[in-house]
Amino acid sequence: TELASPSATASTTATKLAVAPVIGAPETVAKQMQSSLSGALAKQNIAIAKDATDKSDYTLRGYVVSAREKSGVKVSYIWDITDPAGQRVNRITGEEMVNAGADRDPWASVSPQVIDSISGKTASQIATWLPSQRSPSAASAPASTPVAAGRSASAASRSVAAAPAGGPGPTTGSI
């Protein structure tokens, strides 16, 4: 078992992350992914909110699709990290190619190993990004205060902030 360095532990445990239900995958895959991701984040010494009433600094929202391709099955994922106001402050994306099984359903090819691979990569990227954040209130300041900071994330946060309240709109099934 590999342990994180004390400095990495100190910088990430002060911040708590809530893991929202994964969207786009069948319920069994979504629950496995949420559980695997929580475990991978814990291995990175990132505190996880235990339930919806547990206060968190950020929320991780995942969107996953699986599609058959000529060379196998492609699993594409997007993870948005949002602050308490719902503003996106980071996005992690990726794809995994897996061998297609005999089943026509592409989700049948998504094994626990694929889920663990996606979770591990995601947790590693969050652990790299998290220490660079000062506080959730500071992270959302550029979205509410027009500042010419030149950060592309600010522009993305402002466009997300313009979305109607009440959650994300309808999805098209593609990412």
Higher pLDDT among residues 163 and 113, named by residue: 113
Q: pLDDT tens digits for 43-96?
A: 999 999 888 788 899 999 999 999 999 889 999 999 999 999 999 999 999 999
Q: What does the angle CA 45 – CA 49 – CA 55 come to, to the nearest 5 degrees?
A: 120
Say whether pLDDT at 17 is over 50.
yes
| β-bridge partners, 64 | 77
Q: pLDDT tens digits for 109-153?
A: 999 999 999 999 999 999 999 877 755 444 444 333 333 333 333
